[in-house]
Amino acid sequence: PGLDELASMLFVSRSHLCSAFSRETGQSIGRYAKARRIERAKTLIASGNSVAYVAARLGWPRPSAFSQAFKQATGTSPTEWRDASKG
């Protein structure tokens, strides 16, 4: 669900949800979600899935956008990470 839908499901406002999440976890919902997506991507890449498959599966609009986000988060490209995780 999106942020507005999640807030509605919890019967709180979007701003209250964001504030409470940040207060409890020390990070924004967006940062948390991105980190979880990157962790899931690592698992999918290590399982031998292609960068294009992982990007589409996890909701990035283009493989290049996924690769850029992955490199920003990990310091390495998805294919470099896969190769390093094999050894």
C-beta separation of 85 from 46 below 8 A: yes
User: What domain range is 72 assigned to?
Assistant: 3-86
pTM (predicted TM-score): 0.82
User: pLDDT digit string (tens) for 3-31?
Assistant: 999 999 999 999 999 999 999 999 999 99
Separation between Cα atoms, residue 6 and residue 15, nearest integer Å = 12
pLDDT at 67: 96
The number of beta carbons lying within 10 Å of the beta carbon of residue 60 is 20
**What's 23's domain CATH number?**
1.10.10.60
User: pLDDT digit string (tens) for 57-79?
Assistant: 999 999 999 999 999 999 999 99
What domain count does the chain have? Answer: 1
Q: How confident is the model at residue 54 (pLDDT cuts 50, 70, 90)?
A: very high
In sign, the C-alpha dihedral spanning 42, 57, 33, 74 is positive
